[in-house]
Structure 1
Amino acid sequence: MAYRLFEGKEHAASYVKFRTSPSNELVQRLIDFVEKQEGKPLGVAVDVGCGSGQGTVLLAKHFASVLGTDVSAAQIDMAMTHAAAPNITYRQSPAEQLPCEDASVDLLSAMSAFHWFDRPRFLREAHRVLRPRGCLALLNYVMDMELHRPDCGPDALNQVCKEFYEALRPYRSPHLSGHSIDLYREAFQALPYPDKEWNECVRVRKPMPLSSYVGMVESFSSFQALLRKNPQEAEELSSNITQRLMSVMKVTSPDTEVVVEVKYFYLLACKPAED
């Protein structure tokens, strides 16, 4: 079954404000793979589990039309408000039942969402909607992000970050078992497509206020699970981590900028011209 964890309006709003999106360089890797298989121009892309649409907008720069889908009405509302473009449409839809004709899609992507789907059903649906030589792109990043600041040693900062992640680990969804990367690796190995690519570590660095880093971690499913179980404990954990990071940085404002290093991994695959 698919897991539905990000549907509330408040959680959708936190996605708009805090969730990171792939870098232009990383998106270009997807585009290069698709163009290698199909050539130009690129027609139709579908971004599944699009959330508030950050990744959908990145695809819109390269395709004639892009459809963003998500099972959450609140996420779709946020996407339509905050991540619109003339060639983008959004539809509420489960990942396993896409509103697409057979063999109609040039790129089917899922950015930080595939691990929540009914993965076998989704992969069958992907095969149905992809054109011959159409491409599948599944991206995600590991939770263990690292912080960098020129005048501050990274070890001290990231020790605090590690304690943040460890405190949230007991609240991680059992659906994800050990690490989500294992689910993507298994999908890569199981896909019968001969043209496919796997990359376990693409490092993306993004400057942002310290408060935005904390807000991003707060948007994760594990923190949200703690928040539902014990709001006071969740608030105290977040506040304590923020104060400790500020102490290490020797600053007094959570708006102080840090560089957040996010480690992405991805699966790219091309549907054969003939089944």
Structure 2
Amino acid sequence: MAFPLYEEDKHVAAYLQYRVTPHELINKIMDFMGAKTQNKLNLAVDVGCGNGSGSVLLAPFFKQVVGTDISANQLELAQANNDCQNVSYRQSPAEELPFESGQVDLVTAMTAAHWFDRPRFLKEAERVLKPNGCLALLSYTMDMELEYGHATGALNAICKEFYAALLPFKNPCLGSSSSQIYLDMFESCTYPDKEWNGCHKIYRTATVNRYIGMVETFTSYQKLKKQDAAEAERLSEDIRNKLLAVMQVSSPDTELTMVVKYFYMLARKP
């Protein structure tokens, strides 16, 4: 990766606990690759793998999966939670992958490519991919929605209030739209066989506390927390109380539906 993030122990652990793993999109990737045979493909590389929660999803389809990341703390946690014999991890930047040219069947980055030096990463991905190898990049917008019967509309107004409060702390390298970053990469890709999906909704049962915990893993929230921990805590508590009030419940462990809006690009090297 172009620069290290998610290094602090508590942030690393929270990322593992709260982030949503998009197992539905793994099937989209494999369908695009045409891997509907009994024979596993050889090698997948999950770049910017973090805690490895995405890397292990690839294990059933490949003989070997290697997750790479620049963060030693993330990789330590990934290895500690790894129970797949064909998944391993290596520390390296996204722009300098430790693989020979033409060796890799799949290069993927799950909620990570926006942090890379993107022109260098795309060039490096092309180098390591085999002919007919695939590049799969996916992420999600930071505006999850909540569903809870009659309260759905009011809940999402409160969610927007939460995101607006964090907007001044957004990393400037992300620009105004994370999906636009990926669309730009898609459009710059010269492979003739490619696919873009700008919104694939993933639904997860969650609690109010889990939703709050997920937003607290955002780099914008972490920046606010470093600047003013008391204000960050106050913001979370205020949003939590407002959500509970419109739901007309008292427990933050009350379940609702969280909707995460993913987008992705898939491209096959000629």
TM-score interval for Structure 1 and Structure 2 normalised by the shorter chain: over 0.9
Residue 85 of structure 1 corresponds to 84
CA contact (8 A) 1:38 1:133 kept: no
Residue 254 of structure 1 corresponds to 252
CA contact (8 A) 1:48 1:109 kept: yes
Pairing 1:157-236 to 2, within 5 Å after superposition: 157-236=155-234
In structure 1, the residue corresponding to 2:108 is in which secondary structure?
Answer: strand
Aligned identity (percent) is: 51
Change (3 A) 1:40 1:191: farther
Q: Which stretches in structure 2 are left out of the alignment for 5+ residues? A: none
The CA RMSD measured in Å over matched residues stands at 1.6
Using the TM superposition, give the Cα deviation of residue 37 of structure 1 relative to its aligned residue in structure 2, in angstroms. Answer: 11
Q: Deviations over 1:127-147 (max 9, x none)?
A: 111011100000000011000
Q: TM-score normalized by structure 1? A: 0.95
In structure 1, the residue corresponding to 2:206 is in which secondary structure?
Answer: strand
Using the TM superposition, give the Cα deviation of residue 41 of structure 1 relative to its aligned residue in structure 2, in angstroms. Answer: 3.1
Pairing 1:141-156 to 2, within 5 Å after superposition: 141-150=140-149, 152-156=150-154
- Alignment pair present for 1:269 and 2:267: yes
Pairing 1:50-65 to 2, within 5 Å after superposition: 50-65=49-64
CA contact (8 A) 2:5 2:71 kept: no
CA distance in 2, matches of 1:173, 1:128: 29
Q: Deviations over 1:84-136 (max 9, x none)?
A: 31110011111111111111110000000000000001001101110111000
In structure 2, the residue corresponding to 1:78 is in which secondary structure?
Answer: helix
CA distance in 2, matches of 1:36, 1:186: 27
Pairing 1:133-144 to 2, within 5 Å after superposition: 133-144=132-143
Using the TM superposition, give the Cα deviation of residue 83 of structure 1 relative to its aligned residue in structure 2, in angstroms. Answer: 3.8
CA distance in 2, matches of 1:39, 1:100: 26
Q: Which stretches in structure 1 are left out of the alignment for 5+ residues? A: none
CA distance in 2, matches of 1:40, 1:182: 36
In structure 2, the residue corresponding to 1:6 is in which secondary structure?
Answer: coil
Q: Amino acid of the residue matched to residue 255 of structure 1?
A: D
Change (3 A) 1:39 1:128: farther
Using the TM superposition, give the Cα deviation of residue 210 of structure 1 relative to its aligned residue in structure 2, in angstroms. Answer: 1.3
Q: Deviations over 1:155-206 (max 9, x none)?
A: 1010000000000001000101111111111111111111110000101100
- Alignment pair present for 1:45 and 2:51: no
Residue 3 of structure 2 corresponds to 3
In structure 1, the residue corresponding to 2:252 is in which secondary structure?
Answer: coil
Using the TM superposition, give the Cα deviation of residue 42 of structure 1 relative to its aligned residue in structure 2, in angstroms. Answer: 1.4
CA contact (8 A) 1:223 1:234 kept: yes
Aligned residue pairs total 270
In structure 2, the residue corresponding to 1:51 is in which secondary structure?
Answer: coil
CA contact (8 A) 1:160 1:244 kept: yes
CA distance in 1, matches of 2:125, 2:36: 17
Q: Amino acid of the residue matched to residue 45 of structure 2?
A: V
CA distance in 1, matches of 2:138, 2:203: 16
CA distance in 1, matches of 2:137, 2:154: 33
Using the TM superposition, give the Cα deviation of residue 3 of structure 1 relative to its aligned residue in structure 2, in angstroms. Answer: 3.3
Residue 18 of structure 1 corresponds to 18
CA distance in 2, matches of 1:209, 1:259: 8
CA distance in 2, matches of 1:83, 1:242: 33
In structure 2, the residue corresponding to 1:65 is in which secondary structure?
Answer: strand
Q: TM-score normalized by structure 2? A: 0.96
